[in-house]
Structure 1
């Protein structure tokens, strides 16, 4: 139960039906915000908070709590507002699809972060995943290298759980995963991971990772180069359902 939302409804005399009409969603959607703790799309959050005479942070504090690195915040805002996300990863799974155990293993790997920093980054990463569970989620397409499925991040149990979670995620209509098989030789993905985001107003932004911090890309020539790389990696990958079959097969090798 979202108690803050319940109290705000009571104080203002709103019902789930009247708030739904004001925000422009189905009453069942507002009921899910209330009883299941769903986090609405940003534009619905702001409209609901305005109708209830509250700050967004009063009703959905987890969406504004800053646990992420300062350098990552510009991309996090872009990610939250995106209508589509296209992600390529060659070494690990995309953060939006990682289980808690897998994410913790990735963050702890190499011993570069203190324990408190690991937990802080972990909380931020898991919090971001809410965008795939909210009402009106972005269309998320991920291309990953087959090596990602076979790298023993966190051990056998963690990998088994993680790959089964991937298969479950693939059943969602807004999630598509494609695997580049190990039989493919040199391809554009070997140059490194990247993400491309499209917004409601048709703006496109990119994100690149490195050992120190991420970089948001918006220059048209850079975006064009990333789009070309995306077409290459997507073209080398298996279809979505072929990829699901492969993920399921590899998951059994970790059991």
Structure 2
């Protein structure tokens, strides 16, 4: 099926298949297929095309964006699907890719800032994202968390026990590593805030930062490199994987 929305957007900007292909660094034949056969490019390419055409990527290719994530989070969720490795540091919460449904629901419902319908929507989107860890060729996931994540009661004891048991189980998978920074350790650079680094199939690395209002995707090479140095710093503070798993299981017993 031809992509009429893309054709109209290109015409409005005076872009040809050849000029668009050059700007987003793909072969003209590849760009031509987006128009004539409705092929959907990789997430990072979709974002690049949308920027050139000054349109929303979801307007040009709505199918991949029919997700239940928050609108501002969807571009990152799309890139996450194309990642071959993901490195996540979280000082306060279990990362979304490793949250149980009960834990995720408790986090989102805290404070009554979201309606029940919004909580349901975001939880569903979060669980959908986790499917990348179960596919035939999953990304390598390396997570560093602070010990306080294991000990702070996000919900009832049963939810916490289930969440920590899930972490220990996921850490047994070959493509998942979970490392813990002990609470007795000194202040470290990671405590300035959470961040995620993702390496895509074409070798490009991107990052994601979260705050109280919304997330921010980082594509500037200098900024991504800076976060890479912070990653090396926080991993240097963390326990090795086996000792981390042992600590997770030890704390899990306190929630039973």
Would you say same fold, with TM above 0.5?
yes
Q: Aligned in 2, Cα 1:171/1:240: closer, same or farther, shift over 3 Å? A: same
1:191: Cα distance to partner?
Answer: 0.4
1:134-213, aligned counterparts within 5 Å?
134-213=135-214
1:66: Cα distance to partner?
Answer: 2.0
Question: Any idea what SS the aligned residue of 2:228 has?
Answer: helix
1:65: Cα distance to partner?
Answer: 3.4
TM-score between both structures, scaled by the size of structure 1: 0.75
- In structure 2, C-alpha distance between the alignment counterparts of 1:248 and 1:223, rounded to whole Å: 33
- In structure 1, C-alpha distance between the alignment counterparts of 2:79 and 2:64, rounded to whole Å: 14
- In structure 1, C-alpha distance between the alignment counterparts of 2:65 and 2:250, rounded to whole Å: 39
- In structure 2, C-alpha distance between the alignment counterparts of 1:64 and 1:171, rounded to whole Å: 32
* Match in the other structure for 1:55: none
- In structure 1, C-alpha distance between the alignment counterparts of 2:101 and 2:218, rounded to whole Å: 28
- In structure 2, C-alpha distance between the alignment counterparts of 1:194 and 1:64, rounded to whole Å: 23
1:126: Cα distance to partner?
Answer: 0.7
Q: Deviations over 1:137-190 (max 9, x none)?
A: 000000000000001111111000110011110110000000000111110111
**Structure 2 stretches lacking a partner, 5+ long:** 1-40, 43-62
Q: CA RMSD in A?
A: 1.5
* Match in the other structure for 2:69: 68
* Match in the other structure for 1:214: 215
* Match in the other structure for 1:57: none
- In structure 2, C-alpha distance between the alignment counterparts of 1:235 and 1:211, rounded to whole Å: 27
1:111: Cα distance to partner?
Answer: 1.2
Residue-pair matches, total: 196
- In structure 2, C-alpha distance between the alignment counterparts of 1:200 and 1:115, rounded to whole Å: 37
- In structure 1, C-alpha distance between the alignment counterparts of 2:219 and 2:140, rounded to whole Å: 20
Q: Aligned in 2, Cα 1:243/1:63: closer, same or farther, shift over 3 Å? A: farther
- In structure 1, C-alpha distance between the alignment counterparts of 2:166 and 2:185, rounded to whole Å: 25
* Match in the other structure for 1:129: 130
Q: Deviations over 1:192-223 (max 9, x none)?
A: 00000001111000000001100000111111
